[in-house]
Amino acid sequence: MRTLALRMAAPPEPAPEPDPVAPDPAGGVSLFHAIHLASYRAEEHAASGWESLQALFPDLLASRMARLEEADLGSRGVFLRLKAGPFDTAAEAGSACVQIEAAGGWCAVTDFTGRALSR
């Protein structure tokens, strides 16, 4: 009983600190790497381009996901950058670019930021 009386007389314990709020990933940059394969003005053209590129480079792109990232080029307009990934390292993405460029394609290593390409 004495313990209960002491507890009741003691000041209340402070409330625990709330868990920190997770940062909003929108607008963030991916930690994964990707390869920028082409740019398009319309999503349907990007989807068609992705299918063509997968057919040209099945060993490199069949297991990859496509993402689109808007790029405002000022007077040239807004383009959708078609990216493939993810790659764990920039070197791994660079190796894929070397193969694509050797076959006559264009490629640049970038981050895996963007939204999923809807099909």
Q: Is residue 104 part of a domain?
A: yes
How many structural domains does the chain have? 1
Is residue 62 included in any domain, yes or no? yes
Give the domain CATH number at 63.
3.30.70.1070
For residue 81, the model assigns a pLDDT of 97
pTM of the model: 0.74
Residue 97 domain-assigned? Answer: yes
pLDDT digits (tens, 9 = 90+) for 68-116: 999 999 999 999 999 999 999 999 999 999 999 999 999 999 999 999 9
DSSP states of the chain as a string? -HHHHHHHHSPPPPPPPPPPPPPP-TT---SSEEEEEEEESSHHHHHHHHHHHHHH-HHHHTTPEEEEEEEE-GGG-EEEEEEEEEESSHHHHHHHHHHHHHTT---EEEE--SEEPP-
| Residues 89-102 pLDDT 10s | 999 999 999 999 99
| pLDDT for the residue 11 | 63
112/30 Cα distance (integer angstroms) = 5
Parent domain of 53: 33-116
